[in-house]
Structure 1
């Protein structure tokens, strides 16, 4: 009798397929996150024409996404996190819910979205460095060379555009980078055990006791433009919530070291988005640097990067 059972996929082919899906999901997450800079700039406005307060944008986007997450978790009947997951959830919240949004909101009140995009271009290297330490992932010397080269390119671009000078706003942006790197790695660790959608949703829901009162306290006293509220809506629904559905799943499937390098494209996508949304000028040098970064990413993804062997986890331990 002919068996109707589908042939098993060889482990090596399955790993390659998962890595490829991780890269595509990573690209989708990066595209969503790239719009965060111009949309946040719309939300907070420049110093000469302020819109929504940076503190409100930070807390409000997390609180709004937290309410969406609560509805999602209830609708899917997701189980509660276990006590052992709470420290990692807290680290993820500290980086992605507080540190990164606050850093870019404060910085974008003072600098254009294009400036913020290039300064935060070092995020992939920061994420890879944190992952190498925290997750004990290994990469070849060539992989690290590509990562360093890519980051050198975006830093060189920042120096070219800004004259090499760092401001207080740059300090906020660097703090945002450090926060996001830690938050991404913490979220990626959780996403290897349970669905990425549940990871970011629980991070946001457990942050509600902090973010909701702050959003209420910092509710804007002065009216803001429709475009400011539109930018706020985007960073709430997409940057703070749906983007992480793709991003955490990508990090879990493709490996944090490798997928994080796709983020090298994020500053250049943000530059392109800033042109129609904010009217910022796009210089020809931007395209030159973008092509160079694309080449670096293409080479880096073909070099070895390995996750450490993982032991199987009992079924009762794989859900929050």
Structure 2
């Protein structure tokens, strides 16, 4: 099997696994670091790593125009999305509620797909609906939708809109770019926004203990450098509706990880929800000849 074809098959499951670890990392770091401060260190680390790789490989840099587009997309996909999720959970929004809100993304992406020239067929709409239903089943026992959270809920909704808008914007305006230099641009833009906010809004507390070091190293080397690179690769070679729908599987994988690592409950309802989610994602991403009217 050619290497590109092999990567195309491996990228989605690898991405789902890596993205799911984000909740584990947040749980490790949250008691010891202010969220925007942690993210600022994370972005700076990614910029340093990717800049070193880009210079060593003499990777091509995007044009000024593409740099601008990458920076705008990075503000949505990186800065606003991560800041909203981390701060909302830190302020008390249940992780299950946050996960449900953010996992509305495939619905928004499918609705907006015609804006970037993608056609969503009825089979895929059914998959989007089943995927969302499965996510609700998986995390239902963790939800607390009746409580009033005000600002944290608004921040999580901002995250949903930011990552959806950033994903669509990138696919529309700059679908092709070198992953190393492109991420230098995106994370530099994210750092330029996040660091001043951390300075203004937080005491910038970060305790460099074992958990924070592990969380930071994993965030830079695996979550960001690995997970984001895989997402960009999939966006480059696939349809944005199919790529975003793989995120439906993240809560299921996270629940299994939390069960294995922290002993959290994994009941029959959650297992059934995983099955429904898998069916929904299959309907969205499965390659099938569609009749064009």
Report the TM-score range of the alignment, normalised by the length of the smaller protein: 0.7 to 0.9
* 1:194 has 2:180 as partner: no
Deviates more, 1:190-199 or 1:214-223: 214-223
Deviations along 1:203-240, one digit per CA (max 9) or x if unpaired, are 12454544566678867446354213322322222222
* 1:54 has 2:40 as partner: no
Q: Distance in 2 between matches of 1:157 and 1:164?
A: 15
Q: Of 90, 96, 111, which aligns to 1:129?
A: 111
Unaligned runs of 5+ in 1: 1-13, 46-50, 307-320
Shift of residue 258, structure 1, vs aligned partner? 1.7
Q: Report the counterpart of residue 97 of structure 1 in structure 2.
A: 78
Deviations along 1:128-162, one digit per CA (max 9) or x if unpaired, are 334432x2211212212211231233245555542
CA contact (8 A) 2:61 2:182 kept: no
CA contact (8 A) 2:100 2:136 kept: yes
Q: Of 23, 26, 30, which aligns to 2:12?
A: 26
Q: Distance in 2 between matches of 1:121 and 1:192?
A: 23
CA RMSD of aligned residues (A): 3.1
* 1:180 has 2:163 as partner: yes
CA contact (8 A) 1:117 1:267 kept: yes
Alignment of 1:1-320 (within 5 A): 21-22=7-8, 24-45=10-31, 51-109=32-90, 110-111=92-93, 113-133=95-115, 135-155=116-136, 157-159=138-140, 161-165=142-146, 167-168=149-150, 169-189=152-172, 192-211=175-194, 220-221=204-205, 223=207, 225-302=209-286
Q: Flag the 1:58–1:106 CA change in 2: closer, same or farther, 3 A.
A: same
Shift of residue 93, structure 1, vs aligned partner? 1.4
Shift of residue 247, structure 1, vs aligned partner? 1.2
Partner SS for 1:250: helix
Q: Distance in 2 between matches of 1:142 and 1:242?
A: 31
Partner SS for 1:139: coil
Unaligned runs of 5+ in 2: none
Partner SS for 2:60: coil
Deviations along 1:79-115, one digit per CA (max 9) or x if unpaired, are 3321221332122211122111111211222245455
Could you tell me the TM-score, scaled by structure 1's length?
0.76
Shift of residue 68, structure 1, vs aligned partner? 0.9
Q: Distance in 2 between matches of 1:302 and 1:222?
A: 44
Deviations along 1:228-273, one digit per CA (max 9) or x if unpaired, are 3322322222222221211111121122122222221111111222
Q: Distance in 1 between matches of 2:190 and 2:142?
A: 37
Could you tell me the TM-score, scaled by structure 2's length?
0.82
Q: Distance in 1 between matches of 2:206 and 2:287?
A: 53
Shift of residue 20, structure 1, vs aligned partner? 8.1
Q: Distance in 2 between matches of 1:287 and 1:171?
A: 30
Q: Flag the 1:251–1:96 CA change in 2: closer, same or farther, 3 A.
A: same
Partner SS for 2:103: helix
Bigger Rg over Cα: 1
Deviates more, 1:108-117 or 1:94-103: 108-117
Q: Flag the 1:260–1:222 CA change in 2: closer, same or farther, 3 A.
A: closer
Q: Flag the 1:207–1:112 CA change in 2: closer, same or farther, 3 A.
A: closer
